Amino acid sequence: MKRKSSGQNIEFDICEQVKVSVVMPVYNACKYLEQSVESILTQSLSSIELICVDDGSDDDSLDILNRFMYKDRRVIVISQKHSNAGKARNAGMCKASGKYLLFLDADDIFSKNMIEEAYKTAEDRKAEITVFGGNNYSEIKKKTGSNTGLLQMKMVPDDPVFSLKRYRGRISFSSTAPWNKLFLRDFIDKNKLEFQSVKSANDLYFVTMAMLLADRITVIDKQLISYRIDNPDSLQGSKAKSPYDGISALHLIYDEINSRGLYNSCCVDFNERCVAICLYLLRGIEAPQLYEEFYEYLRTEFFGSVGLKNANESDFYHYSLYRELREIMDETAVGYLLKMNKKIRQRERKYWLFPFSEVPSKSRITLYGAGEVGKCFYKQISDSGFCEISEWVDRAELQVDGNKVIHPDAAKWTSDYVVVAVENEEIAAQIRNDLMNRGIEDNRIIWSKIIINESS
């Protein structure tokens, strides 16, 4: 039996199995709620259900949800006393009937084919977790910018489907955000995973454990969601006020991987995530007394309780995280802050010199990289007129001072040279290999040890 959803130009079979259950916690979200719900209900994949869990809103959110429920039978509304997003997501999961689960927020922006692309990729590759990229969106500036933490392709293994148990230390290829990940429901049920019922960081345990347990992870190298970064009602700001919620999640992850016999295969990934989250929580604290208290707790108690007190460099994938751990263990809170401030000042004085000696004057170049090095190169070329930039390329498609930066797959590569604008030699080598695989001759690719001048 087929019918049209009232108010929508969408026809679907109500007897058909729901392919994707979208779970959305809602709390005082009326400002953006209609836009977000509408963009889900008009997705190119119609065989979905949208489970909205109102978490005790005291604005018009529940009324808005009920209006959508009366218009579209795919909308299910649950109302609960205010208990935070973790409990709301769990309540939504209990009602879900779809083969896959997708956890979205009530203030974000979704591309029209987001769910269909994620679903088809998961089906084609038999994935337990499908990860896709996204952007940040500033409502104040009305601008979209890159969010590289959601999906770092340089960290993703070459295999189209992979497991972190095989590729140890790669967990930072994606953040702990649940909303850029499609989960196979049977996989979640089998492993009895739930969100924590805490004010902040409720997704840290769920996402990290899922990533560590999964045998089949895949990625879509596209930006399919835009995360609203300047919503004052967002939960992100609460992490700075309740950093111990994150610590509770890390303790639980540590206990779980030990009780499930996974520590030996997951310890590097746990160490990476643990230190990265602790640094994130620490740097988000503005109150001096809480900062010092939390710092001392990490140094004297927490790191020892999760096996990091005597960790070695070999226990990490990224040396930088090991170095940060050692600095915290060896320094007082004041000493650590002084070191961090000194590093920031040094970074601000860095100047990456464009390789003028290797690029012939008046050449047409493709500039590969739109980070700090790429921006510095772009300014030098613009100011000097030394050569012509025919394309500016980066894996994160974005705008830089009004200039469009395109994805490598969209580039024409017809320039005389490709100048790789990154400082890290290992990343530069990866880019060179990618370019050569695209048929670009090695003698057209320019990267050298970057000369760094530091002005006083």
Q: Are residues 114 and 148 in the same domain?
A: yes
Same domain, 263 and 225: no
pLDDT at 452: 63
User: Could you tell me if 117 and 231 are in contact, meaning their C-beta atoms sit under 8 angstroms apart?
Assistant: no
What confidence tier does 7 reach under pLDDT thresholds 50, 70, 90?
Answer: very low
Stretch 150-162: mean pLDDT: 90
Is 222 found in the same domain as 98? yes
Give the CATH number for residue 445: 3.40.50.720
Do 314 and 167 reside in the same domain of the chain? Answer: no
Predicted confidence (pLDDT) per residue in 328-372, tens digit: 999 999 888 888 777 666 656 677 888 888 999 889 999 999 888
Q: Is the pLDDT of residue 440 over 90?
A: yes
Domain boundary among 295, 328, 348: 348
- Residue 402 confidence (pLDDT) above 90: no
SS3 at position 220:
strand
What are the structure tokens assigned to 192, written together? 């009895």
**pLDDT for 234-287, tens place per residue?**
544 445 567 899 999 999 999 999 999 999 999 999 999 999 999 999 988 888
Whether 24 contacts 106, CB under 8 Å: yes
Number of domains the chain contains: 3
pTM score > 0.85 for this model? no
Q: Is the pLDDT of residue 6 over 50?
A: no
Q: What's the pLDDT score for residue 66?
A: 96
Range of the domain at 227: 17-235
Phi first, then psi, for residue 450 (nearest 5°) are -70, 130
The string of pLDDT tens digits covering residues 10-24 is 555 555 789 999 999
Question: Helix, strand or coil for residue 164?
Answer: coil
- Shared domain for 92 and 218, answered yes or no, is yes
Q: For residue 450, what pLDDT is reported?
A: 66
Distances (CA, A) of 86 to 31, 91, 94, 192, 202: 21, 9, 13, 15, 5
Which of 306, 324, 348 terminates a domain? The answer is 348
Average pLDDT over all residues of the chain:
88
Give the burial string for 12-43 (b: 16+ CB within 10 Å, else e): beeeeebbbbbbbbbbbbbbbbbebbebbbeb
Unique residue bearing structure tokens 């809170």 = 333
- Asked if residue 438 is part of any domain, the answer here is yes
